[in-house]
Structure 1
Amino acid sequence: MALRILAAFNSPGYLMHDDHFLVVETSASWAVGEDYNNWMPWSQCANGIENPTPHQANLAYAGIVSGYFRVCNAMDFVDPAGQMLLLRLLHGLFSLLIVALGFRIAEKLGGERPAQWTGWALAAFGLFPLLGVRQLVEVVCIPPLLWAAWVVVRTERRTWKTWALAGIGIGIATALRYQCGVFGLGWVIALLVHERKWQQAVL
């Protein structure tokens, strides 16, 4: 937590294209009724584009951040620096789920010592504290993926409920970043290869 707080206070401004122009500028413009990147079909039509084309990125995460900016504006909390600091702190808090879930998964699979190393690595290694507080969908989608993995590995007796809950986690991650759907496809292939009796795996 301490490293996330330090990162949130000491990383203002621009980091990379993805977190600034694809999330912050986009969502902040939606919050005030504008469309910075002209992603919406009505914006494209207004600019003379007869056949609007959708943007390749998912809109769910930018929409969530836009909701945050709308709440801030409604509460008359309009200082840009203050809004961004609070947003980084919220992202840092959410990113701690990566540490907690990573620790649990490693503990289940390898025991206490590997879990401790995993927890420390996810909490403090390299750029993790910085990336954890930024508006990067590549990081925000990790907690639901890890939660899906934890649901599966925490028990030896896997029922259809296990796979349904794991599917919800993968679904949330995919809604945030569609490439995460590959994670679920990998599991299906693994089941087909390693679970010779498919019905026993899901019933």
Structure 2
Amino acid sequence: MDDGSPWPKEEAPAASAPPMSADERKALARTLTTLGFLIPASIVLTVDWFINRNLSWSLFALVSLGAAWMWSLLPLIFNRKPYQLIISITIVALGALSAIGVLTGNTGWIFTIAVPIVLCAGALASGVTRLVKKTRSVGGNMTAWILQAVAILAVCADILINSQLKESLRPGWSIIAASTLLPISILLLYLHYRPSKQRKLRRYFHV
């Protein structure tokens, strides 16, 4: 029954929060990424300290986590700046490998093996980036260029390591890796650049 008391008014819907700007989203991503790496870093440091009463193996984990943390943040800093991103990733890799060399007490391999391999990887990444930016159609050709770059890097790394450890410039395992990657890359390039009348075959291979 209606006793004459007024009906409660419906509450107005709460105003939705305004969307975050691009800078705010980047700041949030940086914060979450940093927290995500601080947690495992604190765990390994604590475990190492309580077990060994000093910091030993945890320093290597800390170097690896620090490098991974910086690699995760660099795409947010150099968004759509691929060459600056590649240079920054290369610098971080060189710094991490140098830190590992200092921790192990053996820095001789840094300049003879680590630096040439990392610089070679950076140069190959820059080359692939340049090819991708120049091409009109990106698909299987990009995958093919990446596979070719990996094959070249494997051969270069194999030669550099053998030259220091075995005093030989003859590649070994890298030939097997390259002989596997190069045919696949050639097939992808063939399928990508075939005449348009063969589009059905390209669609079948998703290239």
TM-score by length of 1: 0.28
TM-score by length of 2: 0.28
- Greater C-alpha radius of gyration: 2
Greater RCO, CA 8 A, separation 6+: 1
